[in-house]
Structure 1
Amino acid sequence: MTRSKLISLSISASIAVLAAGVAISSQDKYALQVPNGLSFSEFRGCEDWPVIAISDNEGKLAVTVGNPAMIDAYKEGVPGNGKPFPDGAKMAKVHWIPKKQETYPGQPTVPGIQHDVDFMVKDSKRFADSGGWGWGRVRL
């Protein structure tokens, strides 16, 4: 992927993250429950979290965002520095079906219909059986 396409995708994905709340606002997303005892309400405000990564996952565009605890851990060098992620660190990964934006110059690939949201939280006590991580997926 060329640098200009990556920049275009990054900008489009960042804008799309902000729209994620609008995309699923037709249902009460904070009332959604997933296996492992997580609820989407634990991720309230994730639309405003900083972007960690942008990726192409099995034909879907994705952006991963992190809460302040996660971002601070990355800034400190976790996991490369050998330290664990702290309890309270959270990530959300929003997936979209890609589409061509035919009205933009170069017809870049941009997020289309939102597909699902994955989310993870580090809580060593609550999720001791899974290495301290709880996760879930909400299909939209």
Structure 2
Amino acid sequence: MALGASASLFLTLALPKVAAGAGQPAAAATSPVYGVRLPKGYRDWKLISVAQENGKNNDIRAILGNDIAVKAFRSGKRPFPDGTVIVRLAWRYQSSPRNDAVFPAPQSFVAGAPTNVQVSVKDSKRYVASGGWGYGQFENGHANQDEQLTRSCFACHTNLAQSADFVFTDYSR
């Protein structure tokens, strides 16, 4: 899973409030390797932080969390408790000619086309081999079925200090 130095994360079948999209076949709704699904209602979750990734990703991101995640982020609790779910939404980073027409110089950038949604779920018993985290990446509401991509999530997260509990994002105040 392509990750930047500021965000990403994922979700599991074992947690409540996790549902496949309406009419989605089970295979399309569940990520390979970890069995992660998009959590129901995640777009209404609280904002944890935002990020911008340049280079190959060229995107802007919003990092959201369920109530367990938000409480842990706000209190600085690490490792994160089981049941933590973090969702990273990404869009192409693009200039806004409409907004720039109002300003004295080009300066406005906005979310363009969506790229993917990444979900991280903390379950220390289920995901022992990946530091207690399960991962999934979704495009257009469907789980990306590329096992190599999904396995690369944890490999990237292991580059973080142990004190971060494999999480790139810090809570933005």
Same fold, TM-score > 0.5, yes or no: yes
Show the counterpart of 2:129.
129
**Structure 1 114/27 Cα, relative in aligned 2: closer, same or farther at 3 Å?**
farther
Query: Are positions 1:34 and 2:31 aligned together?
Result: yes
The one-letter code sitting in structure 1 at the alignment partner of 2:115 is: H
Equivalent positions of 1:56-75 (< 5 A) are 56-57=52-53, 58-75=57-74
* Secondary structure, aligned partner of 1:75: helix
If the length of structure 1 is used for normalisation, what is the TM-score?
Answer: 0.70
Show the counterpart of 2:111.
111
CA drift of 1:67 comes to 0.7
Query: Are positions 1:86 and 2:81 aligned together?
Result: yes
If the length of structure 2 is used for normalisation, what is the TM-score?
Answer: 0.57
Query: Are positions 1:54 and 2:53 aligned together?
Result: no
**Structure 1 70/29 Cα, relative in aligned 2: closer, same or farther at 3 Å?**
farther
Q: Mind listing any 5+ residue stretches in structure 1 that lack a counterpart?
A: 1-24
* Secondary structure, aligned partner of 2:98: coil
Show the counterpart of 1:76.
75
Q: Distance in 2 between matches of 1:63 and 1:124?
A: 25
Show the counterpart of 2:167.
none
- 1:66-91 deviation digits (Å, cap 9, x = unpaired): 11000101122223xxxx11100010
* Secondary structure, aligned partner of 1:37: coil
CA drift of 1:99 comes to 2.0
CA RMSD of aligned residues (A): 2.4
The one-letter code sitting in structure 1 at the alignment partner of 2:113 is: I
Equivalent positions of 1:15-30 (< 5 A) are 28=24
User: How many residues align structurally?
Assistant: 110
* Secondary structure, aligned partner of 1:44: coil
CA drift of 1:29 comes to 9.9
Q: Mind listing any 5+ residue stretches in structure 2 that lack a counterpart?
A: 1-20, 141-173
